[in-house]
Amino acid sequence: MSSFALSIVLLAALLHASWNAVVKAVSDRALVLAAVSASHALLGLALILFATPPDRASWFYIFLSTVIHFGYYVFLFQSYRLGDLSQVYPISRGLAPGLVTLGAYLFVGETLGPAGWVGLTAITLGIGLLAFQRGITHASRGAIAVAAINGVLVASYSVVDGIGVRLADSPFGYMGWLFLMEFPVPLFILLRRHRRAVPIELRTLVLGLLGGVGAVSAYGLVIYTKTIAPLGAVSAVRESSVIMAALIGLILLGERPWRPRIASATIVALGVGALAFAG
């Protein structure tokens, strides 16, 4: 993995961690989810207007990724309902790198060298250690099952988008249509709230839109990097956002304990270094 690709994905991970930290304290998660999806759709529309259309060979992957993303949103919302997000979120993100690497090998024929495998393993272990720190052993079976399903879905759309964007011959065109296809998510949530007469809090909506800008920027950078770097390595570095979010909580929000978080961050940092060395 080149230093250029590594830098892009680390920036994406930081953006992802930052927007998660912004919306962490918000209780109306459905409205946040609608705002994040709306941000995706709006940026997608802007990209479509200016970018070269993606090649026809990539349209199947845009459709497939869209369907998988819809499932991801459903199970993400369920994870909010069944368990503490800080417990189940590291499970889904920790499962993804290994599954993406397996999928990349099966469908693209990509493999990592010895240093790459060491790096991926270290990042996965560091995220797993964080999951145990957050109380995974106390989470319900339903919450853990939802988190595991989400991990499979994250890995699935990561592999699908990695293949699709390489076939598109227009990364921004691919991103544009992929992001625009999320428009049913905010429509469904807002219409449902309207029927139930649930009010919309302006502060929550603004935070959700800001979070959406961070989310769409982060995934856009990840999609682009998949055109120049191995899918498994990109996924592993991207999921280090879980550790970054934990460190943001430690430094800015005063969350404790600090020693286990530093240990997890150190393991992940060593994994990122190994992936850089592999490049």
| 32-78 residue pLDDT tens | 888 888 999 999 999 999 999 999 999 999 999 999 999 988 887 77
pLDDT of the residue at 176: 95
Average pLDDT on 150-160 reads 93
Average pLDDT on 208-232 reads 90
Report angle CA 168, 92, 125 to the nearest 5 degrees: 105
Q: Which pLDDT band holds residue 217 (cuts at 50, 70, 90)? A: very high
The rounded percent of the chain whose pLDDT value lies above 70 is 89
Residue of 14, 249, 17, 265 lying closest to 130 (CA atoms): 265
Largest CA distance in the chain: 56
Q: Which pLDDT band holds residue 139 (cuts at 50, 70, 90)? A: low
Residue of 17, 87, 80 lying closest to 237 (CA atoms): 17
Q: Which pLDDT band holds residue 208 (cuts at 50, 70, 90)? A: confident
pLDDT of the residue at 140: 74
Q: Which pLDDT band holds residue 24 (cuts at 50, 70, 90)? A: low
The number of beta carbons lying within 10 Å of the beta carbon of residue 114 is 9
Minimum mean pLDDT range among 102-111, 165-174, 240-249:
240-249
pLDDT of the residue at 279: 56
Whether the Cβ atoms of residue 58 and residue 164 lie closer than 8 Å to each other: yes
Average pLDDT on 112-135 reads 80
Predicted confidence (pLDDT) per residue in 85-107, tens digit? 666 777 777 788 888 988 998 99
Mean pLDDT, the chain, rounded, equals 84
What dihedral angle (degrees, nearest 10) is formed by the CA atoms of 13, 258, 20, 6? Answer: 0
Q: Kindly list the distances between the CA atom of residue 67 and the CA atoms of 4, 36, 78, 182, 184, in Å, as whole numbers in the listed order.
A: 31, 17, 17, 9, 11
Non-local CB neighbours of 235 within 8 Å, separated by 6+ positions: 96, 97, 100, 101, 155, 158
Question: What is the rounded CA–CA span in Å between residue 81 and residue 76?
Answer: 9
Average pLDDT on 155-181 reads 95
pLDDT of the residue at 134: 63
pLDDT of the residue at 224: 93
Q: Is the pLDDT of residue 173 over 90?
A: yes
pLDDT of the residue at 138: 67
Q: Is the pLDDT of residue 130 over 90?
A: no
pLDDT of the residue at 2: 79
